[in-house]
Amino acid sequence: MIFFEDTKLGERHTLGSFTFTADAIKTFARAYDPQAFHLDEEPGRRSVFGGLAASGWHTASVYMKLLVAYLKDLAEAAEARGEAVAQSGPSPGFKNLRWPRPVLAGDTLTYTYEATAMRPLASRPEFGLVLGTTTAVNQRGEMVFYFENSVFLPRRNPVV
Amino acid sequence: MLLTFEDFRPGHFATLGPRHVTREEIISFAAEFDPQPMHLDEEAGRRSMAGGLSGSGWHMCALAMRMQVDGFIGRTDSLGGLGVDEVKWLAPLRPGDDITLDVHVDDARLSKSRPDTGIVKIRAEMFNAARTRLMSIVSNGLMRRRAPSSSQA
């Protein structure tokens, strides 16, 4: 995890890629979103999606999976350089999540994060709030996922 | 009978649950999608701001989806979700929580581009058994109308 002070607005981070297999789509859907077009090929083909489609919450959860792995790599690299490693704070939530196109079985998504705004917190001097946007594109470069996230990051030198 | 756009009128729509959430499923979801220590390990949870093992916020979103699919989306002539305006994570989900979801229709309007459908804005609020509000989620769904031809303005 990085400190609030390490955040660079506008810098794009490629978090990683993930291929949505039919098995993974169905497993997630059986647990959390058991609608026919997420569970089986045939209803998927007949639906507005035109094929077995991943639950939108599956697409979103994979973002978190890739983010955690990306931050773990950053933390390990910082540790190897002998630098301090920050523990991320919680997220208060997010806004404007969109699924502009379906994610179909076999699609490979690449997720990218960019910080767009940051401000210190008067109420919590040990943290700063960082706003950002996350997008995912499929193997054809079409945007399939977008949202505006927020996270509390620890200050390197808290003003207390 | 399938629910259609006409069945979603502004106001309180349904209270869903309670749904019991186990420690095992909190850890299982986190292990796959959000493997941060405070979602996997009691001791790490205690050291975190949540002050104990807590469920991933994305797990809370997924649970809210499942409760809504079981509660009404599964018997609604739905054409899918259009997106989420806002999610607020207000308090941690804990192992053993019995969660309920209060579902409100905030707005229901006809689609301009697809006259056989309407857009329903739904606000779902998740509570634990002590009625602490854990999460609020405002989303928009596209739903088919019952008799579009006969009710055209």
Residues of B in contact with A89 (CB under 8 A): 49
CATH topology classification for A4-154: Thiol Ester Dehydrase; Chain A (3.10.129)
β-pairing, B11-20 with A127-137? unpaired
Residues in a beta bridge with A13: A113
Task: Read off the pLDDT band of A159 (50, 70, 90).
Answer: low
Task: Specify the pLDDT at position B152.
Answer: 47
Q: Is the pLDDT of residue B150 over 70?
A: no
Q: How far apart are CA A93 and CA B92, in angstroms?
A: 12
CA-based nearest distance B18→chain A, Å:
16
CATH number at residue B95: 3.10.129.10
Q: Work out the mean pLDDT of chain B and round it to a whole number.
A: 94
Partner-chain contact A92 B88, CB within 8 Å: yes
- Which of A76-90, A107-121, A126-140 has the lowest average pLDDT? A76-90
The amino acid at residue A71 is L
A54 Cα distance to chain centroid: 15
How would you label A4-32 residue by residue, b for 16+ Cβ within 10 Å and e otherwise? beebeeeeebebbebebebebbbebbebb
In total, how many domains does chain B have? 1
Mutation to test the B interface, candidates A46, A64, A147, most B Cβ within 10 Å: A64
Average pLDDT over residues A135-157: 95
Using an 8 Å CB-CB cutoff, list chain B residues near A147: 84
Q: Evaluate if residue B109 carries a pLDDT over 60.
A: yes
Residues of A in contact with B84 (CB under 8 A): 94, 96-97, 147
- Does residue B101 belong to any structural domain of this protein? yes
Instruction: Classify residue B149: in a domain, yes or no.
Output: no
Residue B73 pLDDT greater than 90, yes or no: yes
B150 versus A106: which is more confidently predicted?
A106
Given an 8 Å threshold on Cβ–Cβ distance, is B79 in contact with A57?
Answer: no
Prediction pTM value = 0.94
Residue A60 tokens read as 């979103």
Smallest CA–CA distance, residue B79 to chain A, in Å, is 7
Confidence of residue A3 (pLDDT cuts 50, 70, 90): confident
For residue B35, the chain A residues in CB contact (below 8 A) are 65, 68
Residue B150 belongs to a domain: no
- When CB atoms are compared, the residue of B35, B80, B89 closest to A68 is B35
Report the residue from A33, A92, A98 with minimal CB separation from B69.
A33
pLDDT more than 70, % of chain B = 96
Higher pLDDT residue, A87 or B110?
A: B110
Query: What is the least distance, in Å, from the CA of B30 to any CA of chain A?
Result: 9
In a domain? residue B153? no
The parent domain of residue B105 ranges over: 5-144
Distance from CA of B11 to the nearest CA of A (A): 23
* Complex confidence, ipTM: 0.94
